[in-house]
Structure 1
Amino acid sequence: MVTLPRLVIAAPSTGQGKTTVATGLMAALRAAGHEVSGHKTGPDYIDPGYHALATGRPGRNLDPHLVGAERVVPLLLHGASVPAPAGVAVIEGVMGLYDGRLGTDGFASTAHVAALTRSPVVLVLDVARLSRSAGAIVAGMAAFDPRVRLAGVVLNRARSARNTAEITRAVERAGLPVLGVLPYDESLAVPSRHLGLVPAAERDGAARAVERLGAAVARHLDLDALLRTAATAPDLDADPWRPGNEVRSPGTGRPVVAVAGGRAFTFRYPETEELLRAAGCDIAVFDPLSDPALPDGTAGLYLGGGFPEMYAGELAANRGLLDDLRRAVEAGTPTVAECAGLLCLARALDGVPMAGALPVDAVMTERLTLRYPVAVAAGDSLLTRAGERVSGHEFHRTRTSPGAGEEAAWRLDDGPEGFASATLHASYLHVHWAGHPRLAQRFADAVHHARPLVPAPPVIRAEPETPVAHPLRHHGDAETGAGLLDFAVNVFPGPRPAWLDRALHNAVDAAGAYPDAAPARTALARHHHRPETEVLPTAGAAEAFTLIARLRPWRRPVVVHPQFTEPHAALEQAGRTVTTVLCHAEDGFALDPAAVPEDADLVIVGNPTNPTGVLHPATAVRSLLRPGRLVVVDEAFMDAVPGETESLVRERLDGLLVIRSLTKHWSIPAIRAGYVTGDPRTVGALAALQTPWSVSGPAVAATVACLTTTAAAEAQDRTAALTRWREHLEDGLRERGIAAVPSTAPFVLARLGEGARGALRERGVAVRRADTFPGLDPAWARIAVRPPGTTDRLLGALDAAVVPS
């Protein structure tokens, strides 16, 4: 037996304010600290969207026609237990309390669901044009069906206090308490559309509207009395519905089902996705209005219902996504399209071009199709076997020409409907898969056996790269210029903090004296919890690399590439012959310690590496240490890694040096501020080689300022911003089918194609060529992370550079 306090919110007819009261009650109870489960009688998709906003959990439907009467209670208990146990369930009714499927004596009505779930009913009565007759309506409603227990009344849109008192006496005379009175207030109404209410996902300010409803209900309804009424619901002798009991996973992998969402595709039942997940699929929701491509690895498509006719122009403008849909259907990607999904796959909707995946044209009509049919499968298809029967519903004002394909999806009373094949099922009929889980199983089976859709790679026409005379000396600033968006130089694109500017200005004011690096050394030691003998301020990382190159007569210096070329150049300038060890793209540019020769006496590796953005595990870097070997880790971009995971800057290990730079993160590339940490013997030897006063006064001031607690907090903010911006860039590249190396740095290495850098430059965007880094070819480019608005201009330039295939 399961205890679940619950209420049904019903009305004598549609338009009385059930949605207002039910949604407001859910919001009010949640605001009062209760975990609330929201449910809707019938097939409606729109009200559950408001319920989800009110409760913070999925809105659920309870419909005996769609799922069978025997599943109503299990689905109620499922909704009340996922994602967390609910303390109370609120079930919004449909139409009038006793109105059900025509010709069935109220089957699938609110009363039917109230009887099945043994729930007390609260009647909402619009009294704007009523007085004492309200008592007669309530009395009739209470006596009509003995299976239904009317427990109270809420008066809606009440006007004068005097009339409200008259109505209250009449209702109480009928034997029912008045549990609240909502005053006449048009601002609490939910906007409607040609098919009913406007979905929450489409309505601007929907969350604020639900919050206002909740506040109004809390103010005018007796929440304690409603909760006491809910607690009178008897225990239920049933187990919650579990998707894992209905379907199974046919394989070991988890293929991706791309599910249409966003404002134009709001109609789908949460149980559909739960069944697919239980059947071993991953769900990736995409927005056909804004996403330029299908999700990576798409192996199946589910296009549910919604209002594409309201957004036909925006859909048509997103040609790349529509082309992806057409390619997916043509390639045999298992595809289910219900109602709006069918329209999206059509050639045109009211003359506006759609995906063109089906030989169908759709138009708006004056006639509303609203019915509760039982459909028969016209043949074997992706979802069905010939002759199978399903219960569903239709709700639309469009029609297609033709109305059915040679292989129809269904046979209805008025003839064949929809389009079907072994890989496609497109129809106006909405089906609740919890009532027909075999449909979910067949779809999942097909998805598991499908080959993921491979994105069409962008084709960019441009001239080949011109070789660089001195690749190891090439720098990104050589690729910027007047009028170009700078994605070539890895410097944080925001302004310097005021406290840093003050420190720099004070240092310039003190420029009459020789600089003293002692304050920087003290600050570094304090910051990294090391003795001052283990830290050394330097004129940027560049000076540190030059000092290391001169430190010893290296016999076998190794630089792990691709990485920042400065240490390689410094070693060659010092007369050393450098051994290159390459990290390979097919391995994700991961560090392989075994590839480093055992006789190497110097190993230099970047972490995270410039230009790949790869963050190597600290254990892999530590494993490079050997007696007589110096391992140098360039952590110039580690401050852009949240939490600085895998950093070795505070580890005190013989033979380890860590180099840091402050110039990138703090937007001060002209102030050469860096430092070295390591064992005191090696740090002391570097200090002995250092030219006196090489670290300028402004660099000392910057180092001290950037190691304060104030700076630490702002550094975290900058790191968080870089992470968000990088994700936006990576998402944009991925959506365009452009391969990029997963990065932890403030830049991304992307395979744009040879000549793409020049094509972007022609369109006003500068990115860093990557073929000057050993191990990379001209197809690669390094892209600095920038704010989303700036990144979108880069992505737009990429789109403009693509040659239509």
Structure 2
Amino acid sequence: MVTLPRLVVAAPSTGQGKTTVATGLMAAFRAAGHRVSGHKVGPDYIDPGYHALATGRPGRNLDPHLVGEERIVPLLLHAAATPTPADVAVVEGVMGLHDGRLGTDGFASTAHVATLTATPVVLVLDVARLSRSAGAIAAGMAGYDPAVTVAGVVLNRAGSDRNTAEVARSLERTGLPVLGVLPRDDRLAAPSRHLGLVPAAERPASARTVELLGEQVARHLDLGALLDVARTAPALDAEPWDPSAEVRPPSTRRPVVAVAGGRAFTFRYAETEELLRAAGCDVVPFDPLTETLPADTCGIYLGGGFPEVYAAELAANTRLLGELREAVAAGVPTVAECAGLLYLARSLDAHPMAGAVPADAAMAARLTLRYPEAVAPADTLLTRVGERVTGHEFHRTRTTPEAGGAPAWEIDGVATGFASATSHASYLHVHWAGHPHLAQRFADAVHAAPRPPVTPHRPAPVGRRVGTAAAPPDDPLRHHGDVETGDGLLDFAVNVYDGPRPAWLDRALQDSLQEAAAYPDAGPARAALARHHGRRPEEVLPTAGAAEAFTLVARLRPWRCPVVVHPQFTEPHAALEQAGHDVTTVLCRAEDGFALDPAAVPEHADLVVVGNPTNPTGVLHPAERVRALRRPGRLVVVDEAFMDTVPGQTASLAGEVLDGLLVVRSLTKHWSIPGIRAGYVVGDPSEVGRLAALQTPWSVSTPAIAAMVACSGAAATAAAGERAATLAEWRHVLEDGLRRRGIRFVPSAASFVVARLGDGAHAALRERGVAVRRADTFPGLDGSWVRIAVRPPARTADLLAALDAALDAALDTARPLQSDH
């Protein structure tokens, strides 16, 4: 027996405010310190997106039509136990309390799910145009089905106190308590379009709306009484649903399944990904608006969403469209539901799509909404001939033709969709928890699939060892120093502090694993970082390393003239190009000591990105020069990833409140935690808010949050200063050794030094067991330059000895940059 306090939020009809009350109640319970599990009756994807924002865990669906009556309680218990046991479950109903699948006497209705789960019902009544009739409606709803327990009423959109009192008196005759009165508040309205509410992931203000809902519900509803109602729910005699009991890994490999996400692909059931993981697949989300297929993709899942709203942006990502077309043609197992079908079509509203399906798609005059049973007409990737599944369709587009080759399904005798032995595309949404054999077949095909024909260029993961880097890299902007290290090589290529982490940081990281079963909450990190810089929390945004910050900036606006000041860290440039922008490069010149000249930036530039101190040159630009980049209508982004290495952090702008300026910081290098992607943005609160609206939920991991909190405290401030002083001493030893050998270098303020050793020196040092970072991948530098990471003096002596041995062969072009330094 499993005890789970729970309640169902229902209404006499749609439009009464179920989503408002249910989502607000979830947020209010969570704000009060409860772990909340959010659920939605029916197939709807949109409301669970708001539930996820409110609860901090995935929103879940409970639909007897899609998964069968026998799975409803197990799925409820699974969701309530994942990732950590919930204190209370809130289930939002669908349509009217007793409205179910037509012709079935209420099958799959809210009342049906409430009965299956033995859950008390809280009835929401919109009383904006009611008075005494509210009592009659509530009495009828409560007495209609003895198997359904209506435990109380919430009045929504209440007007005058006089009318509200009249409504309350009418309810006294029913014996149903009034559990709260929510006043009319237009701020709580969610925008809608052709298929209903706009998904939470597409609304920049979604998180704030949900927060406001929670505040209103906590203010106007009796949370204690509602919890008492939830606690009346009896224990359930069932085991939680377990995906690993439904499917099995067909091999010991863990092939990558690329799953479409982002604003255009917001619809998929959480259990789908859980089944794929249980079947031995690594599920890797990607955003078709801005990204390409993940590296080593062996399977593709394109779920539902609104591609028709983003057709032009999807069409602009031509590289991904080409990859998809090649992948499907080559037999990479691919499943596409509804939005995925449109994306694989030749065109969508005349915009070119992937062309992997022989059809064209366009908006239609009528909405298609049905809850069918479908039959498999042939053996395909997912199905065997004659098999039946339950599903739902919800779309206002149509494809021409509607089917081709082997159709995916027959519904009411009509063929629909497109399928083969390696692909399956149709409008039908199927909940794989109700049909786990579909997940198994897809996983089996993914495990058996060969390496995909397209392998996108990606930054090498931290710690990867790939041998020699002498050949020119395929993608210079995404070349990282970690690929230059290897077994047997002294590492002067990776610019991570060469020393152990502080004990207090290790403890914080270890303790964070105790919270790894819960979805991460970046709030404590935001607060700690704000205190550290003397800023307000709304002026800070924790990110998954600096790289996520640059990706968000690239997606922030349709930049007309984005400028990157080079030579510098190439990730901002790569992110802008990946987002479809043409980047203008402004070069700092070697003859000027790579100093920043604000006048060299075009006056019409609306985005300027500059490093300070700059990677790879180590030049620290005076703060007044960086401030001089600001203009009305221009956003200036300063990459201060290495400002921690500067004693006193002189020239930092992280503590200055300036319109149109953002500072990006990183903790990974200074604190020796490159595997913990920990970074943040601080600056103009309006711009920070816009970045936050673009950020993928839960992108910042729990260990990264713990690192941000720990590295913002008093102990960290003192330790950071000590590390900066140590680096300055090590850097002095390296620069002195280069100077005595007459080698040209740039005086550095960072944890590395860029030196002009001459053509061939990079390879010559590798032959002598030393890895340094090639610099010809940075715009403005050529193969004669290398970047050398600062290391302790004993290690530096080994480098200098190797340098001495290589001088005759590789250093004949070296010249001192400054004879007096």
Task: Please state which band the TM-score falls in when normalised by the shorter chain.
Answer: 0.5 to 0.7
Q: Any idea what the Cα deviations from partners look like across 1:146-193, whole Å, max 9, x if unmatched?
A: 110000000001111111111111112111000000111222112111
Give the 3-state SS of the residue equivalent to 1:418 in structure 2: strand
Shift of 1:605: 3.5
Distance 1:529 1:194 in 2: 57
Counterpart for residue 34 of structure 1: 34
Counterpart for residue 617 of structure 2: 491
Structure 2 contact 66–431 (Cα < 8 Å) conserved: yes
- Relative distance call for 1:213 and 1:489 in structure 2 (3 A) is closer
Structure 2 contact 647–724 (Cα < 8 Å) conserved: no
Distance 1:92 1:99 in 2: 14
Distance 2:170 2:350 in 1: 56
Shift of 1:544: 1.3
Q: Any idea what the Cα deviations from partners look like across 1:263-298, whole Å, max 9, x if unmatched?
A: 11111000000100111111111111111x211111
> Is 2:299 the partner of 1:173?
no
Distance 1:773 1:307 in 2: 61
Distance 1:209 1:137 in 2: 30
Counterpart for residue 289 of structure 1: 289
Identity, in percent, stands at 63
Counterpart for residue 250 of structure 1: 250
- Relative distance call for 1:331 and 1:133 in structure 2 (3 A) is same
- Relative distance call for 1:381 and 1:24 in structure 2 (3 A) is same
Structure 2 contact 37–80 (Cα < 8 Å) conserved: yes
Instruction: Name the aligned partner's letter for residue 448 of structure 2.
Output: H
Q: Any idea what the Cα deviations from partners look like across 1:109-142, whole Å, max 9, x if unmatched?
A: 0000000000000000001111101111111111
Structure 1 contact 364–399 (Cα < 8 Å) conserved: yes
Instruction: Name the aligned partner's letter for residue 491 of structure 1.
Output: T
Distance 1:97 1:346 in 2: 39
Counterpart for residue 690 of structure 1: none
Shift of 1:528: 8.4
Give the 3-state SS of the residue equivalent to 2:108 in structure 1: coil
Distance 1:272 1:17 in 2: 29
Shift of 1:502: 12
Shift of 1:454: 3.8
Counterpart for residue 477 of structure 1: 590
Distance 2:151 2:250 in 1: 48
Counterpart for residue 684 of structure 2: none
- Relative distance call for 1:636 and 1:393 in structure 2 (3 A) is same
Give the 3-state SS of the residue equivalent to 1:95 in structure 2: coil
Counterpart for residue 332 of structure 1: 331
Structure 2 contact 8–121 (Cα < 8 Å) conserved: yes
Structure 1 contact 636–659 (Cα < 8 Å) conserved: no
Counterpart for residue 509 of structure 2: none
Shift of 1:477: 3.4
Counterpart for residue 450 of structure 1: 449
Distance 2:97 2:413 in 1: 30
Alignment of 1:390-539 (within 5 A): 390-455=389-454, 477=590, 490-492=616-618, 495-496=621-622
Distance 2:387 2:649 in 1: 78
Distance 2:343 2:414 in 1: 23
Shift of 1:63: 0.2
Give the 3-state SS of the residue equivalent to 1:383 in structure 2: coil
Shift of 1:497: 6.5
Pairing partner for 1:637 from 777, 789, 803: 789
Distance 1:355 1:502 in 2: 49
Q: Any idea what the Cα deviations from partners look like across 1:381-424, whole Å, max 9, x if unmatched?
A: 00000000000000011111111112001111041111010000
- Relative distance call for 1:30 and 1:567 in structure 2 (3 A) is same
Shift of 1:490: 1.6
Shift of 1:609: 4.7
Pairing partner for 2:736 from 529, 543, 555: 543
Give the 3-state SS of the residue equivalent to 1:315 in structure 2: helix
Shift of 1:478: 7.6
Counterpart for residue 95 of structure 1: 95
Alignment of 1:268-287 (within 5 A): 268-287=268-287
Shift of 1:541: 2.9
Counterpart for residue 547 of structure 2: none
Structure 1 contact 394–428 (Cα < 8 Å) conserved: yes
Give the 3-state SS of the residue equivalent to 1:405 in structure 2: strand
Distance 1:132 1:248 in 2: 57
Counterpart for residue 763 of structure 1: none
Alignment of 1:181-330 (within 5 A): 181-291=181-291, 293-330=292-329
> Is 2:59 the partner of 1:59?
yes
Structure 1 contact 545–567 (Cα < 8 Å) conserved: no
Structure 2 contact 332–449 (Cα < 8 Å) conserved: yes
Instruction: Name the aligned partner's letter for residue 637 of structure 1.
Output: A
Give the 3-state SS of the residue equivalent to 1:257 in structure 2: strand
Distance 2:298 2:274 in 1: 17
Structure 1 contact 635–659 (Cα < 8 Å) conserved: no
Distance 1:186 1:436 in 2: 41
Structure 1 contact 67–432 (Cα < 8 Å) conserved: yes
In our comparison, the structure showing a higher alpha carbon Rg is 1
Instruction: Name the aligned partner's letter for residue 766 of structure 2.
Output: L
Give the 3-state SS of the residue equivalent to 1:302 in structure 2: strand
- Relative distance call for 1:539 and 1:240 in structure 2 (3 A) is closer
Structure 1 contact 325–357 (Cα < 8 Å) conserved: yes
Q: Any idea what the Cα deviations from partners look like across 1:359-395, whole Å, max 9, x if unmatched?
A: 1011111211111100001110000000000000000
Shift of 1:637: 2.3
Q: How many residues align?
A: 559
Counterpart for residue 582 of structure 1: 766
Instruction: Name the aligned partner's letter for residue 439 of structure 1.
Output: L
Distance 2:136 2:299 in 1: 55
Distance 1:421 1:569 in 2: 54
Distance 1:544 1:250 in 2: 57
- Relative distance call for 1:140 and 1:503 in structure 2 (3 A) is closer
Structure 1 contact 564–773 (Cα < 8 Å) conserved: no
Give the 3-state SS of the residue equivalent to 1:122 in structure 2: strand
Counterpart for residue 129 of structure 2: 129
Structure 1's unaligned 5+ residue stretches are 463-474, 505-525, 551-562, 573-577, 584-595, 597-603, 614-633, 639-646, 650-655, 662-675, 679-685, 687-771, 776-805
- Relative distance call for 1:45 and 1:501 in structure 2 (3 A) is closer
Q: Any idea what the Cα deviations from partners look like across 1:187-210, whole Å, max 9, x if unmatched?
A: 211211111111001112000000
> Is 2:70 the partner of 1:70?
yes
Distance 1:44 1:167 in 2: 32
Shift of 1:453: 2.1
Instruction: Name the aligned partner's letter for residue 590 of structure 2.
Output: D
